[in-house]
């Protein structure tokens, strides 16, 4: 696929922490018509930066100033030069060839194209307890915000930079900012923005270990996200 005619500049934003083994599978699949690839390095101690430079010397690499995914995401969006930003996981769970499917709704008037691994017919590549937890979180969001989301935990999203910055997203460093994706979704809904859910396949992590592997860590993160969804409903 070619870049849509008249499409503004596009940045693919990747937040990476110790993903040297996964990036060789991810980076080459990003369409060559993408204007900017921005990788925010989360203080990796492996060869994440070296591998990235070797695969594609044109990739812009920044070191995040703080810690946690939310800090990396916020910093990356502010530093991106694209008008449209697509966030992509560095671990290989998501397919970069789906990028065009996320951009299309933005060009057609939507403010946020959010990914879903749980729309009927899609693989989710997750453990049963994480799949169930996502269902609970999506149901909570739907009940409180009158939405019909199937997945509120996918990191695959597309949006206009200006719209993201208007949401005034925040994060708690003690919580590693794990709930910023959900805060973005519910604040966008409260602001009256148009949101479209985009089905995408999740293959599961290619290599390495997730920061939320294990029942205890997943449960802790789940409660943080659940609390964020509820708190945002009654704020402002």
pLDDT by 10s per residue, the chain, length 236 = 677 777 999 999 999 999 999 999 999 999 999 999 999 999 999 999 999 999 999 999 999 998 888 889 999 999 999 999 999 999 988 899 999 999 999 999 999 999 998 886 555 556 777 788 889 999 999 999 999 999 999 999 999 999 999 998 876 544 444 578 899 999 999 999 999 999 998 876 666 555 555 677 778 888 889 999 999 998 86
The residues spanned by each domain of the chain are 10-233
Exposed/middle/buried for residue 199 (C-beta within 10 Å: 0-12, 13-18, 19+): middle
- Whether residue 103 contacts residue 4, with contact meaning beta carbons closer than 8 Å, is answered with yes
User: Which residues contact residue 91 at a Cβ distance below 8 angstroms, ignoring those fewer than 6 apart?
Assistant: 19, 22, 26, 205, 206, 207, 208, 210
Q: What is the pLDDT of residue 212?
A: 52
| Measured CA distances, 39 to 36, 122, 174, 208 (Å) | 10, 27, 24, 18
- Tell me which architecture the domain covering 10-233 has in CATH: Alpha-Beta Complex (3.90)
Q: What is the pLDDT of residue 126?
A: 61
CA 34 to chain centre: 17
Q: What is the pLDDT of residue 176?
A: 43
Cα–Cα distance for residue pair 217/211, rounded to 1 Å: 8
Cα Rg of the chain, angstroms? 17
| Predicted TM-score (pTM) above 0.85 | yes
């Amino acid at each position: 696929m070619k870049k849509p005619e008249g499409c503004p500049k596009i940045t693919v934003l990747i937040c990476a922490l110790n993903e040297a083994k996964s990036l060789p599978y991810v980076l080459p699949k990003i369409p060559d018509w993408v204007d900017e690839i921005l990788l925010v390095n989360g203080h990796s101690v492996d060869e994440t930066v070296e591998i990235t430079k070797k695969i594609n010397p044109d990739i812009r690499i920044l070191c995040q100033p703080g810690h946690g995914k939310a800090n990396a995401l916020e910093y990356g969006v502010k530093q991106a030069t694209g008008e449209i930003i697509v966030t992509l996981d560095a671990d290989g769970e998501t397919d970069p060839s789906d990028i065009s499917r996320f951009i299309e709704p933005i060009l057609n008037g939507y403010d946020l194209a959010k990914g879903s691994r749980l729309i009927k017919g899609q693989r989710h590549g997750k453990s049963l307890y994480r799949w169930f937890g996502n269902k609970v979180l999506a149901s909570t969001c739907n009940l409180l915000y009158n939405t019909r989301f199937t997945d509120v935990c996918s990191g695959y999203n597309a949006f206009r930079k200006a719209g993201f910055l208007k949401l005034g997203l925040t994060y708690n460093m003690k919580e590693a900012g794990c709930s910023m994706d959900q805060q973005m979704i519910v604040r966008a809904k409260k602001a009256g923005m148009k949101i479209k859910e985009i089905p995408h396949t999740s293959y599961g992590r290619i290599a390495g270990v997730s920061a939320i592997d294990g029942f205890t860590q997943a449960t802790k993160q789940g409660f943080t996200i659940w609390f964020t969804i509820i708190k945002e409903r009654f704020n402002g």
